[in-house]
Structure 1
Amino acid sequence: MYLKKVLWATAILGLLICGFITYQIYTAIFGPNTQFNNEEAYVYIPTDATFNDVKMAVEPLLKDLSTFESVAKRKGYITNVKPGKYALKKGMNNNEIINTLRSANIPVRVSFNNQESLSALAGRIAEQIEADSVALVDAFNDPGFLNETHFDEDSKLGMYLPNTYEFFWNTSAEAFRDRMLKEYQRFWNEDRLAKAKKLGLSPNEITSLAAIVQKETVKPEERPRVAGVYLNRIRKGMLLQADPTVIFAIKKETGNYDTIIKRVLYRDLEMDSPYNTYKYVGVPPGPITMPDIASIDAVLNAEKHDYLYFVADVSNFGYHMFAKTLAQHNRNKVQYTRWLNEQKVLR
């Protein structure tokens, strides 16, 4: 009888121990293990990260790092770390956390606007994906890539169309560049190529002209009219005489694209640069900024009119006064010059 009691007691104790162990395992795997208050928290896992790097990234977000590590080992994650951006939701258990880090890399929205240099673009993109600005600049300027894609030192800026795109956070510099090339090729579809051909301009020339239009007016509704002015001047063999091109030439020569120039002086017009449209006929060899898609389409769908000149309208800021003759333009220009002098805008 005594032996039977011992056996029963041992069996019950064994069951309790097994139950406790089972409970501990279940809790480790399926019990909530987050300690942040927001509905979700983001974890960034760099390329070539080790499991130790992952632990450092998630430690502030978890109640118990040891159970997380235990489950990670069981699921084979510690030798199969995946880079990317991951969203951990409040109340997730270790099993859900590991599954998320293993297969739920989420995209990020990458945006950039009208940059005047590829180094500026690189800095903007490096704030949004893993690739750093140095790697991006190297990828943008890679001679093999430029040669293969028929871009050069002047035209390469025009390959990048300002917009918002989706990328994985761990996108490499080369992958970002290559995606931008695909977006550029997709943009220049048969319809746009046909319109460019009808205007007698290449895609690079259209982009270069659109960049000038972009700089000349902040009003999207006015861009087709401004584009029409420049196309009229091109048809007549006239100089474009666009102040933004002179400003860009100054920036390019000095290497300082942060220079603020509000007024172009007569001495600036003598600058010997292919971007100086007061000296050289036609569009510049490349864009002076990354034009919006809307600006490119404004050139491709330019307004048909007889205007050859325009000047800022100080009675309606943001817009311009257009003229068909030089005499009319000079009369319009008086009000703008007077305003500049009154505002003491010397440079």
Structure 2
Amino acid sequence: MKIARNTALRAAWHALCALGRRSVRTRGAHTPLRIAGSPRSKRRPSRRIRWRWRALGLMLVLAIGGVGAAILSLVTPREHAAAARVITIAPGTDARRILHRLAEEGIIAHPLPVLAYLALTRQGAHLKAGDYRFPSPISPLEVIRRLIRGEVVTEKITIPEGLNRFEIAELIARLPIRDADRALEFTEDASLIRDLDPQADSLEGYLFPDTYTYTPSTSARDLIARMVRRFRAVFTEEDRARARALGFTVREIVTLASLIEKEAKLPEERPLISSVFHNRLRRGMRLECDPTVLYAALLEGEEDRIIHRSDLARPSPYNTYLYPGLPPGPIASPGREALRAALYPASTDYLYFVVDGTRQDGAHRFARTWAEHQANVALYRRAQARLSRPSP
């Protein structure tokens, strides 16, 4: 039985093999039939299959090389000739247009690798508008980082305490910003301060002295508006309440602070000078403040200069030698400490002050009576005479 079973199995196997050979001949020489359990064919792959594998391998090598070259191009610093130029990216500019602009300027070699990087990292929407400078050399990746961080070009301008709006406009007119030549015109826009000072006919006194940043895209109007916003931030609601408690309007306090700012040369003297003005106002005395006379001359087209006796008779409402009380409005931009001094004067009974002729730092001598004041004036004049006397 066992021999017969083996003989039958061999016969079946040969029959299947014969069937397979016929099927192969029917389907073609290049389509071998695999029979389960049969020995693996040792025939080599066809030439077409080998070429396909070779092409696939070559494409893979080229792809890896291309990716490597793209990565290398992203991190390699590139020399360019636009380092001194300001590149302005307008608000709303998409990543593709930004990169094409950078390529046109020569800052990046080609936008495609950078676009691919932005697409993969999903950072294309995070590029910020503004004015930029890109040093040379710089890598495209560093360019992108600067655009994402918004590292725009900024310059600074410092407005000192005590400048009037004409002087501030002159400083702004020298800046490389938009509409710089219209700065003085913009200081006449009293609408920016109308709620605080309904009587204002300009921004005199409200252009807060501080350090401000700007870019080439900044306009003179924007810079001036920022100065007004800074004043609002410094002169708080608490300060307005204090002004009301003293019986002053915001305009009157700013006006008084501007006089203090122009007179005081030493910070510690601001509250003392303020006390003199407060005391004289309470008594209905003329303030007799020299800077107001010079401001009156300025409004009539005369340049800033030393005061002359004839100026004391100038028929201007700003002439505090001629008219009692405060002048019609501020004569300069007071700083924080001058505003505070106007609101919180020192507690004194001083009515007069004059420059201390024995010192060279701008200090003053204060007096309670006219006689004391005249003695201080005589001391000042003797000191001036000694200084003007020619050396032997």
TM-score interval w.r.t. the shorter chain? 0.7 to 0.9
Is 2:68 the counterpart of 1:23? yes
- Residue 330 in 1 paired to residue 374 in 2? yes
Give distance in 1, aligned partners of 2:204 and 2:332. Answer: 7
Q: After the TM superposition, which of the residue ranges 295-304 and 187-196 deviates more from structure 2? A: 187-196
- 3-state SS, counterpart of residue 254 of structure 1: coil
Q: 1:144 Cα deviation (Å)? A: 4.9
Using the TM superposition, give the Cα deviation of residue 212 of structure 1 relative to its aligned residue in structure 2, in angstroms.
1.5
Is the 1:112–1:125 Cα contact (8 Å) retained in structure 2? Answer: no
Q: What 5-or-longer segments of structure 1 have no aligned partner?
A: none
Cα displacement (A) at 1:342: 4.0
Distance (whole Å) between structure 1 residues aligned to residue 104 and residue 314 of structure 2: 54
How many residue pairs get aligned? The number is 333
Alpha-carbon distance change, 334 to 98 in structure 1, aligned in 2, over 3 angstroms: same
Q: CA 1:341–1:310 in 2, change beyond 3 Å: closer, same or farther?
A: same
Residues 5 and 186 of structure 1: CA distance in aligned 2, closer, same or farther (over 3 Å): closer
> CA distance change for structure 1 residues 270 and 235 in 2, over 3 Å: closer, same or farther?
same
Could you tell me how far apart the structure 1 residues matched to 2:379 and 2:72 are? 78
Return closer, same or farther for 1:222/1:41 CA change in 2, 3 Å cut-off. Answer: same
1:254 maps to 2:297 = no
Aligned to 2:257: 210
The structure 2 residue matched to 1:33, chosen from 57, 63, 77, is 77
Task: For 2:365, give the aligned amino acid.
Answer: M
Q: How far, CA to CA, are the matches of 2:329 and 2:103 in structure 1?
A: 46
Quick check: 2:197–2:251 contact (8 Å CA) kept in 1?
Answer: no
> Structure 1 pair 142/301, CA: closer, same or farther in 2 (3 Å)?
closer
2:209, 2:227 within 8 Å by CA — same for their partners in 1?
A: no
SS at structure 1 position matched to 2:365: strand
Aligned equivalents of 1:153, 1:290: Cα separation in 2 = 14
Which structure carries more relative contact order (alpha carbon 8 Å, separation 6+)? 1
**Structure 1 residue 183: deviation in Å?**
3.0
Aligned to 1:200: 247
Structure 2 unaligned regions, length at least 5: 1-45
- Per-residue CA deviations over 1:189-231 (Å, capped at 9, x if unaligned) read 2332232223322222111111111121211111111110111
**Mapped partners of 1:338, 1:329: distance in 2:** 14
Q: Is contact 1:105-1:168 (8 Å) kept?
A: no
Equivalent AA in structure 1 for residue 236 of structure 2 = N
Instruction: Give the AA of the match of 1:199.
Output: L
Determine if contact 1:46/1:130 at 8 Å carries over to the other structure.
no
Q: Shift in Å at residue 326 of structure 1? A: 1.0
Aligned residue among 91, 100, 107 for 2:146: 100
The structure-2 alpha-carbon separation of the partners of 1:185 and 1:275, relative to structure 1 and needing over 3 Å to count, comes to same
SS of the aligned residue for 1:66 comes to: coil
Alignment partner of 1:280 is 2:280: no
Map residues 147-296 of structure 1 onto 2, 5 A cutoff. Answer: 150=197, 156-165=203-212, 170-254=217-301, 256=303, 259-261=304-306, 264-296=307-339
- Bigger Cα Rg: 2
1:29-69 alpha-carbon deviations (Å, 9 max, x no partner) = x3233559xxx99955265798599549964xx4xx32357
Would you say the 8 A contact 2:288–2:321 is kept in 1?
yes
Alpha-carbon distance, 1:283 to partner: 1.3
Aligned with 1:124: secondary structure?
helix
